[in-house]
Structure formats: C-alpha cells, structure tokens
Amino acid sequence: MALPPASHSMQGAPNTAILLAAGLGKRMRPLTATRPKPLVEVRGQAIIDHVLDHVRAGGIRRVVINVHYLADALEAHIRRHTPDLDVAISDERGQLLETGGGVVKALPLLGDRPFFAINTDNIWVDGPIDTLRLLANRWDDATMDALLLVVPLARATAHGGRGDFHMDALGHLRRREPRRVAPFVYTGVQLVSPRLFADAPEGAFSTGMLWDRAIAAGRAYGVVHQGLWCDVGTPAAIPIAEDMLKDG
C-alpha cells in the first residue's frame, strides 16, 4: 500500500523505544496473580523478552520501560536480561497511567525524535523486512504524528475483536464505525512523534484519544504487518502463540 515518500527531516533512524509494561494483566489471571503480565512465558521466554529481541533486531539500543504492577519483579528481570541495552525505568508505582499517560510521564526519557511505543502483550514474527525497520522506512516526519503497525483482521491470531481501523490507499487511518467490522487490527506497535502528545491531559488516559486527534488532522497512518501476529492477552492465547512461533 503506497505511502508518501520518506522525509529527510528526521535525523537518522529512530533509536529509542518505550515498552508499555505497567498494566494489571487482569485478563491473564490466574497467571498474573504472582507475576506481571510481561513476565508470563511463551515458549519458555517471557513475553517482554520476545519484544526485546525485536528491539535489538531493529537496531534500537535505548529502551524505556514503564512499571506499576509487581514492579520489583519486573525491574529485577529487566536488569538481568538487558546488559547490552541502555534501559531507563519510568516508575508508575504511585499511579497507573494507562497507555497515553504512561508515555507522557516517560517523555523526558524519550528525547525529541520519533520513538517506538510497543505493548508487551503481543507476539509477532517478522515478515520479509524487520518490522521496526519497516516502520522506520515508512516514516515521513513532515506528514505523520503516528504510524501504527496494523494486521488484517483475518490474520489477527487469537484476537476476538471486530477490527480497529480502515485505511485508504495512502495509508490514512480512520476508526471502525459502531456495530461494523473494520479490516485492520492495531498490533500494539507504533512509531510516534513527541508532537502526538502536545497538550495531552494530565493523569491516566488512553493513547486512543490522541490518535483520534491525529486522524482528524490527517496525520495518523498505518502500515500493514507482513509477518505473523498473535494477541497474547489471555491464558488461552499462549498455546496459540506457541504454535505460531513454532511454525514461524
């Protein structure tokens, strides 16, 4: 699907990612009774470690990770498993801030260039091009505030929804209409500009409200994931994800 040519106004490829790891993991109970959801294992490896492997493959070396639920266990795991990365912790022990509020709190750690924001409850297998490099190659700083990785609804493994977005030939996104089906599902992986968070509200809120503002301005785009993807939100999804990884 065609997108505008890449802009040269962004100095170099994105080099920072925030991993959103602060959630309570309620849908993953009882596995999250004693551990945070990012430490639930898929094929013998914590979900967050699968994500960190992709971060490394994408050439990212600066990583911010937000923590809230069972934060001590998550921080200890991160220290053991990321000696090769420059990791900063954004501490939300005092208040869970949701996706949007969590990024806003972490902005001082993320710099002034576009950065990846990645949920830690999904597993993916890259297509012909490394997924994070695909997003970076498609980024156009002149026209975009958000570039979301989406997957066709028909290929959204273990995902029970009706889709999230429609996308036109240039990659512009628009929301699914109520009581309808949309052809694309958000994967939990996005490349965003700090501009997206300008004048954001204080406290806890979803990034979705900022997407809506960017959609209205014509500055929210999507790119289709070329590989495999699985929504690992419940215990039932774990064997499905493991099968996908085995085949992938």
Question: Which residue ranges form the domains of the chain, and what is each CATH number?
Answer: 16-247 (3.90.550.10)
How confident is the prediction for the chain on average, in pLDDT? 92
Q: What percent of the chain has pLDDT over 70?
A: 94
The pLDDT value recorded for residue 179 is 85
Nearest to 92 by CA among 63, 117, 68: 68
State pLDDT tens for residues 161-194. Answer: 899 999 999 999 999 988 889 999 999 999 999 9
Q: Phi and psi (nearest 5°) for 198?
A: -60, 135
Give, in order, the Cα–Cα distances in Å from 130 to each of 20, 25, 149, 228, 231.
20, 28, 12, 12, 19
The pLDDT value recorded for residue 26 is 85
What's the pTM? 0.92
Are 19 and 64 a contacting pair, CB within 8 Å?
yes
The pLDDT value recorded for residue 12 is 63
Nearest to 189 by CA among 239, 227, 148: 148
Return the higher-pLDDT residue of 229 and 246: 229
Q: Residue 151: is its pLDDT beyond 50? A: yes
State pLDDT tens for residues 15-68. Answer: 999 999 998 888 889 888 898 999 999 999 999 999 999 999 999 999 999 999
Provide the terminal-to-terminal Cα distance of the chain, rounded to the nearest Å.
24
